[in-house]
Amino acid sequence: MKVLNIIKITSYLTLICFILSCASKKQATPKSAITKEETISISKPQIIFLNYLLVKNAQGEKSITLINQIKTEGKLKGKPKNIANTSSGDLEYILLDKDYNSIEKHALKNPLKKTVEFVNDFGNFEKRTLDLDRVEFTIRIQLPPEAKHMKIIELTNASSKEHIITKID
């Protein structure tokens, strides 16, 4: 009888220890702490695609207009390549914060000058540069959370000409 009681007590103690070991170790937090955690949002990395139209009129003056902008979650594999030798007609785009302070600066070859390769009449490869009057181009960039505007500047021999400041939505 004593042996049977010892086995029962031991099995009950084992069961109680097992139940207690499965209990949550997390301490209860006050309700105010929970609401603070819920209001903090972690921003996911975003990529923005800005599509523009660049038009050169008969007098040679250029104007840039925004076609659309697309924001999506994601991360670019690399940073945009900065061109080492900028020349007249190349564009520079600058990401700005809410106070219009520069965050990042990148360059883009002149979109109105396209280089094409083709096979000539003799079967040889030839390169030719075309001067376009109208072109659509896209700027794709990893969007820093503090970026609120994008400024596009045309680099010229004498100075630089500011074309457009786009508000990033």
pLDDT in tens, 50-78: 999 999 999 989 999 999 999 999 998 87
Q: Answer yes or no: are the C-beta atoms of 96 and 150 closer than 8 Å.
A: yes
Kind of pairing, strands 125-131 and 134-143?
A: unpaired
pLDDT at site 34: 47
39 located within any domain = no
Instruction: Give the Cα separation of 56 and 165 in Å (integer).
Output: 18
- Total residue count of the chain as it appears in this document: 169
- 148: burial class by Cβ within 10 Å (0-12, 13-18, 19+)? middle
125 located within any domain = yes
34 located within any domain = no
Higher pLDDT, 85 or 95: 95
What average pLDDT does the segment 88-95 reach? 92
pLDDT in tens, 25-41: 555 555 554 454 444 55
Q: Which domain holds residue 80?
A: 46-167
- Whole-model pTM: value is 0.69
What average pLDDT does the segment 130-140 reach? 94
CATH number at residue 150: 2.60.40
Name the token pair of 14: 């084992």
DSSP 34: H
pLDDT at site 39: 46
Task: Please state the domain count of the chain.
Answer: 1
